[in-house]
Amino acid sequence: TNKARIDYLHRFRQLNDKDLTILIDTFSKEDLMYAKSIAMAIKESYYGRDIYIRGLIELTNYCQCNCLYCGIRSGNTKAERYRIMPDEVFKCCEKGYELGFRTFVIQGGEDPWYTDDKLVPMIQKIRNNYPDCAITLSLGERSRTSYEKLYDAGANRYLLRHETGDASHYRKLHSPGQELADRLTHLKILKSIGYQIGTGFMVGSPGQTPESLVKDLSILKELNPEMVGIGPFVPHHESVFKACPPGRVDLTQFMLALIRIMLPSALIPATTSLGTVDVKGREKGVLSGANVIMPNLSPMNVRNKYLLYDNKAYTGSEAAESLENLRKDMELIGHQVVVHRGDFIAIREGS
Ligand code: 5AD
């Protein structure tokens, strides 16, 4: 039964592909409830009911990639492009620190304007002024030397989703020349340099199957990342997939729970995309095992421009200024937002 499959996964932190496929393909409401209850207990044993917050600074929506799902793809001539200047990024950090953020996530499209010569001093300045904060980068694929320079400047973590664990599906989501194997090589390089790495995938992207989701999970097992970000695919009206349906909320919850069970001490955000497809999405994510939320700390005048998908939430509790709302939302579901760097808790093999 699926309950037995979930129990096996809980006990051994892995499950053969066939049973995982059946589980993902056929889980019932009761199976979801059961997986969530185990995921919640595991999360509590490592992190209690603390919710770590990350201030998300959306550096640039220029992007040289043309990923078929994405609203800021280079082929979208309608997107109004912007760049935040390094000085302004620092101001976002100042404001974020005041608000209680101890991790800053600097995310952007793959924008060659941000050379190492521009990024290194920016990161150094944040590092020197906020020695108690973590600096997370999410800037797509760069060179090994660039990763090294940014790490030496003071960055600690790097987010780079693998998007799908199936190489041929990866090609269907991206433009020619973009390969899953390369993405995985980048993640391994980042890890070897010393970054805490985050990867993840979209749930319900066009062409996804239970089999490809199983491959997503095996990649997580193989890479053992400190952070795992997943959220539903949401169509963008100027993308190739504009007519495709969004990913399912219940499947996202189930995958979150399975990931928490497989990687017990991972840092797992309840993502903005989950909050976009469902008003209670973030709560549902947290109650499925997520323990991180990433409110928007970008300058106000660009918040409506970093649109990876339609209806992206950036107001209300998604906004860093509304942390009080978020605190209340989390208290209502028995969690507390904490002022904390929120580092990964390493667990010993076999424990
Ligand atoms: N729907 C949901 N998530 C998306 N992303 C990009 N486009 C979309 C979309 N249309 C996700 C990708 C990327 C992250 C920053 O945002 O997984 O890695």
Does the beta carbon of 213 lie inside 6 Å of ligand 1? no
| ipTM of the complex model | 0.99
- Mutate which of 56, 58, 69 for ligand 1? The one with the most ligand atoms within 8 Å of its CB, which is 69
Q: Round to whole Å and give the CA distance between 264 and 231.
A: 19
At residue 321, the pLDDT reads 82
Does the beta carbon of 236 lie inside 6 Å of ligand 1? yes
- Ligand 1: nearest atom to the Cα of 202: 17
Containing 108, the helix (H) or strand (E) segment is strand 103-108
- Mutate which of 255, 308, 310 for ligand 1? The one with the most ligand atoms within 8 Å of its CB, which is 308
Does the beta carbon of 69 lie inside 6 Å of ligand 1? yes
CA distances from residue 118 to 41, 62, 84, 149, 229 in whole angstroms, order as listed: 44, 16, 12, 11, 27
Does the beta carbon of 309 lie inside 6 Å of ligand 1? yes
Query: Could you state, in order of their start, the residue ranges of all structural domains in the chain?
Result: 15-338
Q: Which residues contact 54 (CB under 8 A, 6 or more apart)?
A: 101, 103, 104, 105, 136, 269, 292, 293, 294, 295, 342
At residue 143, the pLDDT reads 98
CA distances from residue 43 to 40, 53, 181 in whole angstroms, order as listed: 5, 16, 31
Decide if 258 contacts 236 (C-beta within 8 A).
Answer: no
* Ligand 1 geometric centre to CA of 8 (Å): 31
At residue 113, the pLDDT reads 98
* Closest to 335 measured CA to CA, from 286, 297, 295: 286
Place of tokens 């990763």: 147
Q: Could you list the pLDDT tens digit for every one of the 351 residues in the chain?
A: 999 999 999 999 999 999 999 999 999 999 999 999 999 999 999 999 999 999 999 999 999 999 999 999 999 999 999 999 999 999 999 999 999 999 999 999 999 999 999 999 999 999 999 999 999 999 999 999 999 999 999 999 999 999 999 999 999 999 999 999 999 999 999 999 999 999 999 999 999 999 999 999 999 999 999 999 999 999 999 999 999 999 999 999 999 999 999 999 999 999 999 999 999 999 999 999 999 999 999 999 999 999 999 999 887 778 888 899 999 999 999 999 999 999 999 886 655
Q: Which two tokens stand for residue 270?
A: 């309840």
Does the beta carbon of 231 lie inside 6 Å of ligand 1? yes
Position 113: which residue type? W
Q: Exposure pattern of 174-186 as b/e (b: 16+ CB <10 Å)?
A: beeebebeebbeb
The single-letter DSSP state of residue 300 is G
Verdict on whether the full-model pTM lies above 0.95 = yes
Does the beta carbon of 70 lie inside 6 Å of ligand 1? yes
Q: Which two tokens stand for residue 19?
A: 């049973």
CATH 2.130.10.10 fits 15-338, yes or no: no
Q: Tell me which residue has its CA closest to atom 14 in ligand 1.
A: 161
Helix axes 86-99, 116-129, angle to 10 degrees: 30
